[in-house]
Structures are given as C-alpha cells and as structure tokens.
Amino acid sequence: MAPQLTLQAPLELPPDQVPAYLETLWSQGLKGSTGAATFSLVVWEPSWLQQQLVRTGRLDGPISGLLSEELLEAARSAVTDCGLPPSTAPSAPELAWALGQQEGHHSAPDLRGQFVDRAISAHRPRRLITLAPTLTADTPLETLVAAYCPLPEERGSGEDACGDVVVLRGGMGAIQQGLAILQPLIEPDLPCWVWWNGSLDESPEVLEALATPPRRLVLDSSIGSPRRCLDQLVERIATGQAVNDLNWLRLRSWRESLAMVFDPPSRQGALQHVVQLDIDVEGHHPVKGLLLAAWIADRLGWHLETSYQLPTNGDGEGIGAEFQRGDGESVQFRLMPVPVGLAKTHPGALVGLRLICAPHGQAPLCVILCSESGGCMRLEAGGVASMELAEEVVPMPNESEEMELARLLGGGHDTTNPLLAAAAPLAAKLLPE
C-alpha cells in the first residue's frame, strides 16, 4: 500500500501561532466543518536509522519515517559494514548508533509527518501530530501545519471528515520546547493515541510528557534495553493506561500456531503435563521470547519459582527458569539466542519453540514450532524423535507497522489487552536482574 502525502503543502508557522491558526482555520477557512470526530494521533518519529543512512549516503531521501524495502536493504548491508553481528536487526538502536560514528554529510528533504499511510488515513484522524527530532541537536523548532479533507468520493456526504496534520521538527532541545504547545493541540473530547515509534531508552522525559493517561500508548518492546522495555510495559499497564505493544502483536501468528496444535480435545489434556519449554530467538533481545513464555505460563497456570542467566553461547546469554505447575510438578524453561544469517526487521524475532509434555502413562508429546525449517533443527535434537512429534512452520506476518497501528486505531480499545496485561509482569520477572 503506497503512502499518501497530505493534499495541501504544509504551511510553516512560528510555533506560538499554531494553536490560533488552527482555531481560525476550522472556524473560518473550513467553515461548516467541525473536523472528523475520531481521534488524535501523536507520533514520536525520530527515524534515527533513516536519518543516519541518508546522512552517510547509503540511502536516498526523502526522510519519510517509513520502513521501506530500500531502507531495510541499506540497513542490512550497513550491519556488516559497521562490524555488527549478522543477527543485528535493522531496527536495533545499535545500528543507528554505529552509523552515527561514521562520516557523512548527505542530506535530503525531511517529510516526516507528511506521509500518511492509507491504512491510517482511512480512519480519518482528526489531528495527526508528529514530533520529528533531527540529528543536529541545535536545530531550531519548525512547526508545519496542513489541513486535509478526503476526496468527495472517499468521504461520502459528510463534511465533518476533515483533519489536520501538525509537524514539530527540530533538535532535541527544540522538541522539548515544542511540548509546551502540544497540550492545547490535543482535542480533550476525543480519544488520543500516542505512538512511541522509537527506542524506549531515549528521551524518557518526552515519553513521560506525551503518554499521560488516559492517552492510549503504542510502543514497541523490541526496541530499547530489555529491562527498560519490560519495566515500561509493566509500569504503564499497572496504572490502568491502555498500552499496546507492537512486539506483542507480532507474536500473533506464534500464539495462533501453538493454540492450533492443542485445539483437538484429544491433545488438550497434554497441556497439563508440560515439563519443558525452549524458545530460540535471534540476537540478544529476549523480550519477545519472554512475552511468549509468559503468555504460555499464564494461560497454563504456572507459578514462577526462579529465573537465572545461562552461560553465553557466543551469541549472547540465555535465560533459564523453573516454573511450578498447578499440580506441583516443575517445568524447565530455556531461552537461547541463536545465530542467523539474515536478521528479521525487529530485534529478538522468534526462531523456534519447543514444548514437551509428559502425561503419566502415555508417550511424551513434543511440539516444535519454527519460523523456517532450518530453525527446527536445533530443537529436533536431544531425542525428541522418540516422542509423538507435532511440528509446524509459523507463517511470517507480512504487515507494516502502520498496518498494525491502523488495526489498533480501528479497534479503539481503551484498555490493555488482558493477555498482555497478564503476560508482561511475568515476562519482567523472567528477565534476570
């Protein structure tokens, strides 16, 4: 799906004039329209990777904030050039940081906030506010404003489908200064979504200022240090804020595939006799694997006894844990980083899962799920051939971040998914201190 530019060229205004301009625009310029009664969407859009790839001449502009195929290709070749491990994901902050150490003075037009993915614009956001920090820390604050209305054939007969786009661009200091004008720009009567489209390690004060409840937060727990990612998830869920984690959403096909194995009632009894759970992940970011393990543990009523660091295998340290089942028996858990030749887009993608069930008096059942057949090989070792074997290759989801976000916006939940709310605290406990 091709992204859409705003229909009108954005107007650059002094920051303090933006609220008044928008008020005048809606009351006079777009007379008769009150704007779409939908939601506001605030996007933190640093796009450090794209900015660095453009600066070092590895990618042509413009800077759009979108993860295009060209960008991913350029990022993957940069991984090798920067001497990072091949399992480094393109969106890992380490890559942008490593590129930041390289020379380069290329530039390109910065159109962040002006590209609206059709999946998102189809939901007719009332106001789309983008915060676009630049690489140069002392760039002054620029504010751009554009109003748009869908074409007549797209909007039906209603005039109240119009919205506007506000972009705040500048160095980090300028962005923080811009936060002051942000508050009055957010419609108090409409739901507000905040999409933190960057690392959870950076700019905690900006995150704090943007993502105040009852605003609905969308974040990605695969970007940032695992501890910080999980703590943010847990703390915010505990306050009752609606939190949506794109990393959790990307687990959908794994959860579906595992549930499918146990759909036949004849297999469901085996779930009460799980003795071992192994998860392999790409690189050294364990959050996705921990969330999957925590979801399984929560659904099967396991109690966490202990978790610990496993010795390094060259690709990072693994995590071990022991759970206790409802009947008092123990379940061993291991999460291991494994090397891959071509990393997926986001850090810590799942490679494989193995679940061993040992019902009394019956042959053990071994379930292996993997992202590609190669991923199964390690998990097939260790004598599982003597067990009843159920193997599935998990289909790769092929959706952009914007599609995932659009699905959330379309759904409009004002609470956290209860499965994530239950899994996140357990995942945080699984991560050894």
156 φ/ψ angles, rounded to the nearest 5 degrees: 75, -145
Residue 412 lies near another protein (rule: CB under 8 A): yes
Q: Which amino acid is at 204?
A: P
Smaller CB distance to another protein: residue 158 or 382?
A: 158
> Minimum distance from CB of 326 to another protein (Å)?
10
> Minimum distance from CB of 214 to another protein (Å)?
10
Give the ranges where 220-334 is alpha helix by DSSP (H). Answer: 226-238, 246-249, 252-261, 265-268, 287-299
CA distance 177 to 140: 10
CA distance 334 to 321: 7
Extract the tokens encoding 386. 């003597």
Paired strand residues for 196: 44
Q: Residues 1, 7, 137, 259: which binds another protein (CB under 8 A)?
A: 259
> Minimum distance from CB of 81 to another protein (Å)?
41
CA distance 171 to 113: 16
Chain residues 305-364 in contact with another protein, contact rule CB under 8 A: 327
CA distance 264 to 249: 25
Please answer whether residues 47 and 132 qualify as being in contact, where contact means their C-beta atoms are separated by less than 8 angstroms: yes
> Minimum distance from CB of 243 to another protein (Å)?
14
DSSP 27: I
Residue 30 lies near another protein (rule: CB under 8 A): no
Q: What is the DSSP string of 29-75?
A: ITTT----SS-EEEEE---HHHHHHHHTTSS-S-B-S---HHHHHHH
Q: Residues 158, 184, 240, 397: which binds another protein (CB under 8 A)?
A: 158
What mask, x for binding another protein by CB under 8 A, covers residues 292 to 311?
----x--xxx----------
Give the ranges where 68-171 is alpha helix by DSSP (H). Answer: 69-81, 93-100, 118-121, 152-155
Residue 390 lies near another protein (rule: CB under 8 A): no
> Minimum distance from CB of 348 to another protein (Å)?
21
Residue 414 lies near another protein (rule: CB under 8 A): yes
Extract the tokens encoding 341. 């030749």
Residue 433 lies near another protein (rule: CB under 8 A): no
Applying CB under 8 A, which part among 19-27, 80-88, 263-271, 339-347 lies near another protein? 263-271
In sign, the C-alpha dihedral spanning 244, 247, 248, 253 is positive
Smaller CB distance to another protein: residue 188 or 314?
A: 188
Residue 395 lies near another protein (rule: CB under 8 A): no
Residue 36 lies near another protein (rule: CB under 8 A): yes
> Minimum distance from CB of 300 to another protein (Å)?
6
Applying CB under 8 A, which part among 83-91, 139-147, 185-193, 231-239 lies near another protein? 185-193
Q: Residues 213, 269, 395, 397: which binds another protein (CB under 8 A)?
A: 269
- Count the site residues for another protein by CB under 8 A: 43
Q: At what angle do helices 226-238 and 418-430 cross, to 10 degrees?
A: 140
Please answer whether residues 217 and 244 qualify as being in contact, where contact means their C-beta atoms are separated by less than 8 angstroms: yes
Smaller CB distance to another protein: residue 322 or 329?
A: 329
Residue with tokens 């679940």, as numbered in its chain:
355
Chain residues 189-208 in contact with another protein, contact rule CB under 8 A: 189-191
Residue 128 lies near another protein (rule: CB under 8 A): no
Smaller CB distance to another protein: residue 191 or 348?
A: 191
Q: Which residues bind another protein (CB under 8 A)?
A: 36-39, 123-124, 155-158, 160, 189-191, 252, 255-256, 258-259, 262-266, 268-269, 271-272, 296, 299-301, 327, 407, 410-415, 417-419
